[in-house]
């Protein structure tokens, strides 16, 4: 059983501050809240791409960050798979080389995540020789998901992966996300401000408002029916 726990404090210029603590063992945890509530910043902190002023982050018994003890693992040593909102595929590499980028750089891959199977599940076979500029938005996001998976992550961080897609495409990409979760069981942190997406994907929801965790629980507890703004019971 994995357990992700974090407590991060960071004061930005202009008065906005993040002071958030959360702990989860759910397979898919959603970070839910309005734009500007600090969801993406927390993902960047977990990935080691942004260092908070103080705090601690651990996954299982491994400590990734502990500012009091001077521990701050570099991003490349944290074994996260980050899927960015706007995919961030490498434009000079083919789909195949994008997919294999992380796999070539990280030793000790879990045997369960094999390139052939990832390509099959995400239906990327036809795209391998193409370049990112020749892909549609949905295809780009599928490749980004495959690229992250193939780097052998212990934690998947999905930063609003559907936000840049049309309504029609969202449902299709969501189906692929569900397939990935069902097939490989990689613990996933899913950032979104869309309640129906969260209801469909997450087992556990953490609601973030103005940099603070205000509620957490199951989607049914935290998200009121047919209402996209956070509700539920206090932490």
Partner 1 sequence: MWWLTADEWLALQLSFKVGLCAVLASLPFATAVGYLLARWQSRGKWLVELAVNLPLVLPPVVTGYLLLVLFAPRGPVGGALENWFGVRIVFSWIGAAIAAAVVSFPLMVRAIRLAFQAVDPRLEMAARSLGAGRVGAFWSVTLPLAKSGVLAGCVLAFARSLGEFGATIMVAGNIVGETQTIPLAIFSYSNRPGTEADVWRLVGISIVLAAAALVASEWLERRHARRVST
Determine the Cα–Cα distance for residues 232 and 235; give it in Å rounded to an integer.
9
Residue 13 within binding range of partner 1, rule CB under 8 A: no
Could you tell me the smallest distance in angstroms from the CB atom of residue 47 to partner 1?
A: 5
Q: What are phi and psi of 100, to 5 degrees?
A: -90, 0
Site map for partner 1, 86-125, x if CB under 8 A? -xxxxxx--------xx--xx-------------------
Nearer to partner 1, 129 or 234 (CB): 129
In the complex with partner 1, the residue whose CB is nearer, 177 or 216, is 177
Is 82 among the residues that bind partner 1 (CB under 8 A)? Answer: yes
DSSP 208: E
What is the distance between the terminal CA atoms of the chain, rounded to a whole angstrom? 23
User: Are 35 and 228 a contacting pair, CB within 8 Å?
Assistant: no
Stretch that binds partner 1, among 1-9, 51-59, 76-84, 224-232 (CB under 8 A): 76-84
Stretch that binds partner 1, among 22-30, 61-69, 132-140, 187-195 (CB under 8 A): 132-140
Q: Tell which residue, 223, 219, 185, 194, has the closest CA to residue 204.
A: 219
Q: Which one of the spans 7-15, 26-34, 65-73, 84-92 is the region binding partner 1 (CB under 8 A)?
A: 84-92
Task: Report, in Å, the least distance between residue 39 CB and partner 1.
Answer: 16
Q: Which long-range contacts (CB under 8 A, 24 or more apart) does 164-168 make?
A: 164/85, 164/86, 164/87, 164/137, 165/137, 165/138, 165/141, 166/137
Contact residue for partner 1 among 32, 84, 176, 190 (CB under 8 A): 84
Q: Which is nearer to partner 1, 55 or 153 (CB)?
A: 153
Q: Which of 80, 162, 173, 198 binds partner 1 (CB under 8 A)?
A: 80
Alpha carbon 40 to its chain centroid, in Å, reads 9
CA dihedral sign, ordered 57, 58, 63, 69:
positive
Strands 71-72 and 62-66: antiparallel
Q: Is 187 one of the binding residues for partner 1 (CB under 8 A)?
A: no
Q: Which residues bind partner 1 (CB under 8 A)?
A: 47-49, 74-76, 78, 80-82, 84, 87-92, 101-102, 105-106, 132-133, 140, 147-148, 151
């Amino acid at each position: 059983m994995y357990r992700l726990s974090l407590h991060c404090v960071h004061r930005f210029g202009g008065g906005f501050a993040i002071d958030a603590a959360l702990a989860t063992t759910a397979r898919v945890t959603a970070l839910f809240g309005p734009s500007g509530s600090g969801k993406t910043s927390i993902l960047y902190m977990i990935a080691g791409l942004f260092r908070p002023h103080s705090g601690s982050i651990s996954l299982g018994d491994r400590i990734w960050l502990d500012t009091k003890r001077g521990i701050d693992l570099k991003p490349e040593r944290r074994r996260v798979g980050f899927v960015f909102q706007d995919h961030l595929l490498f434009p000079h590499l083919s789909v195949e080389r994008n997919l294999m980028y992380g796999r070539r750089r990280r030793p000790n891959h879990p045997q369960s995540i094999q390139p052939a199977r990832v390509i099959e599940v995400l239906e990327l076979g036809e795209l391998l020789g193409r370049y990112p500029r020749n892909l549609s938005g949905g295809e780009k996001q599928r490749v980004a998901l495959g690229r992250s998976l193939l780097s052998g992550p212990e934690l998947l961080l999905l930063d609003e992966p559907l936000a840049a897609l049309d309504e029609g495409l969202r449902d299709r990409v969501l189906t692929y996300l569900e397939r990935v979760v069902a097939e490989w069981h990689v613990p996933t942190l899913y950032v979104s401000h869309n309640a129906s997406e969260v209801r469909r994907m997450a087992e556990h929801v953490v609601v973030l408002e103005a940099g603070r965790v205000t509620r957490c629980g199951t989607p049914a507890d935290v998200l009121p029916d047919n209402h996209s703004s956070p509700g539920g019971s206090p932490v």
